[in-house]
Amino acid sequence: MSTDDLLPRNHTRSIRVGTTTLGGGHPIVVQSMCATSTRDVKTTAGQAQQLSDAGAGIVRLAVDSKKDAEAANEIAHLVDANICVDLQENWRLARILAPNVAKIRYNPGHLHHHEPSVCWQDKVKRIASWASDSDTALRVGINCGSVDPAKVGSWPPGDSVSPMVASALEHAEFLDSIGFDRYVVSLKDSDPDLVIAANRQFAAERPDVPLHLGVTEAGLPPDGVIKTRVAFEQLLSQGIGDTIRVSLTLPNQLKYQEVDTGHQILKDIAAGRVRSVVQYQRSGPNIISCPSCSRVENEAFVDLAQDVKRLSEQYSTHDITIAVMGCRVNGPGETDDADLGLWCAPSFVNLKKGSESLGSFPYDEILEKLQQEIESLIQNRGSVS
């Protein structure tokens, strides 16, 4: 008996992605994302193949330019992996990517950044048309840090789940209306409880749509694994979820551990070995860090995240959230909700307090500055016992 025979499953529709199939009762697919530069074809092809060999049914690449797209197309033909490309603002790249890859992920929030004079419906219609012509699947990827700006203002500032779900439902309905149903949806946040809430709400409204589960910026192991388990154990045990990604901050050579961890979580849930708690322990410092991926502009970001984690241990009695982000795409927006945020450029680190910029600092100076801001924050709040 396989792992999937022991897991409850919602009866979502089947979506073929290259040589694998999501939904429809098919085995839950574990996937991962390359951390190497997409333009480095040889290195990235090697990592994509390594992830595939480790058991990743889908391997994702970040694409932000025509050169990235050309490299991704080449990589797709060099490996056995089912390649998914992650579009950023440049939605038109889908046209040259669709004939060569198994799946394209677009973010509804990012559709508003590039060519704002073109409405998002026209952009999605074009993306879906290119995907349909090329026998390619789509993922509608909703992310807490880049929600459709038209949706954010419709709910109170503290409600981040409703705009995500509304955006996902809107795009699902639109894709259906134009006759394209070969898509999956993801709703991700760095807070596992919000991931649970968003996916439960969407699944209740659209039980037919396959769901990609993940806790974005879960962070360093073991905390990142615990956060991910909280979400997966609560959702998969209710039949919600058709494919999963464990997003961990790891050095490039250890990226395969995301895949190993994903398979282990599935086995544990199927066997009743639930290791997490229903409510994630929130006392003390909370370090949010994005997974190492090809958008990271300096691999020193991974070491910095580990240093920040060690630094935070001396403030164990204080509830402080620190976000360490590795790229310019997600860094600026996804540090806004943290008490203190660091988003890492190639040669310097931008320090933020909430949405307020505190300046840019060299990598070898940022920890000292961060510690000053932590202590200032604690002093302003008063002691926490």
Domain of 323: which CATH number?
3.30.413.10
287 contact partners, CB below 8 Å, separation of at least 6: 219, 220, 223, 305, 308, 309, 312, 322, 323, 324
Domain annotation covers residue 276: no
Please report the pLDDT score of residue 328 as a whole number.
Answer: 67
Domain annotation covers residue 16: yes
Tell me: do 291 and 263 sit in the same domain: no
Listed as ranges, residues in the chain with pLDDT below 70 are: 1-5, 275-282, 292-298, 328-334, 383-385
Tell me: do 171 and 258 sit in the same domain: yes
Tell me: do 136 and 252 sit in the same domain: yes
Tell me: do 114 and 80 sit in the same domain: yes
CA–CA separation, 141 vs 164, rounded Å?
10
Domain annotation covers residue 8: yes
| Backbone CA torsion sign across 235, 63, 55, 300 | negative
Look at residues 239, 270, 301 and tell me which one is the last residue of a structural domain: 270
Tell me: do 8 and 148 sit in the same domain: yes
Tell me: do 328 and 362 sit in the same domain: yes
Q: Is the preceding peptide bond at 222 cis, omega within 30 degrees of 0? A: yes
Write the CATH number for 22: 3.20.20.20
CA–CA separation, 149 vs 129, rounded Å?
25
Look at residues 243, 270, 297 and tell me which one is the last residue of a structural domain: 270
pLDDT, tens digit, for every residue of 28-40?
A: 999 999 999 999 9
Phi, psi of 218 (to 5 degrees): -60, -30
Tell me: do 258 and 129 sit in the same domain: yes
Bridge partners of 185, per DSSP, are 140, 211
**Looking at the 3D structure of the chain, how many domains does it have?**
2
Domain annotation covers residue 330: yes
Instruction: Specify the DSSP class assigned to residue 280.
Output: -
Range of the domain at 358: 286-381
Tell me: do 158 and 17 sit in the same domain: yes
* DSSP per position, 222-234: THHHHHHHHHHHH
Tell me: do 167 and 296 sit in the same domain: no
CA–CA separation, 340 vs 343, rounded Å?
10
CB of 317 closer than 8 Å to CB of 284? yes
Tell me: do 151 and 250 sit in the same domain: yes
Domain annotation covers residue 331: yes
Domain annotation covers residue 275: no
Helix, strand or coil, per DSSP, at residue 110: helix
Please report the pLDDT score of residue 367 as a whole number.
Answer: 93
Please report the pLDDT score of residue 158 as a whole number.
Answer: 84
Give the containing element (helix H, strand E) for 301: helix 300-312
Please report the pLDDT score of residue 296 as a whole number.
Answer: 67
Domain annotation covers residue 279: no
Please report the pLDDT score of residue 329 as a whole number.
Answer: 67
Please report the pLDDT score of residue 151 as a whole number.
Answer: 84
Tell me: do 252 and 323 sit in the same domain: no
In what side-by-side order are the strands of the sheet with 340-344? 286-289, 321-325, 340-344, 349-353, 356-361
Phi-psi region of 69 (alpha: psi -120 to 50; beta: other; left: phi over 0): alpha
213 contact partners, CB below 8 Å, separation of at least 6: 186, 195, 199, 231, 232, 235, 236, 240, 241, 243, 244, 245
CA–CA separation, 180 vs 140, rounded Å?
12
Look at residues 237, 270, 303 and tell me which one is the last residue of a structural domain: 270
Tell me: do 9 and 140 sit in the same domain: yes
Domain annotation covers residue 278: no
Give the containing element (helix H, strand E) for 375: helix 363-381
Please report the pLDDT score of residue 384 as a whole number.
Answer: 47
Residue type, 50: Q
Give the position of tokens 């998969």.
236
